[in-house]
Amino acid sequence: MIILFGTKTIYKDMGIVGNYECSRCHNVSEWKFMEYRNWFTLFFIPVFPISRKHEYLQCPICNQAYTVPDDVK
């Protein structure tokens, strides 16, 4: 029997946090609050997380990622 295991990064869209100007594309748009974690997978099914939760903000136009400022958390 072959046991297939590996890792997978799962992204979670936590919704819109507000309108900000992107320093990369200079558009004012609704930024998304994103979360991701690396998971251990068994037969491609995520079983348990193997990393802490990472949070970032993302510009929906150019997909530039930003660290989350303390006043948004």
Which residues lie closer than 8 Å to 31 by C-beta, 6 or more apart? 16, 17, 18, 19, 20, 22, 57, 58, 59, 60, 66
CB of 43 to Zn ion, least distance (A): 38
Q: How many helices (H) and strands (E) does the chain have?
A: 0, 5
List 24, 30, 50, 65, residue binding Zn ion (CB under 5 A): 24
> Smallest distance, Å, CB 21 to Zn ion?
9
| Residue of the chain from 17, 64, 66, 68 that contacts Zn ion (CB under 5 A) | 64
Name which position in 25, 45, 65, 72 contacts Zn ion (CB under 5 A).
25
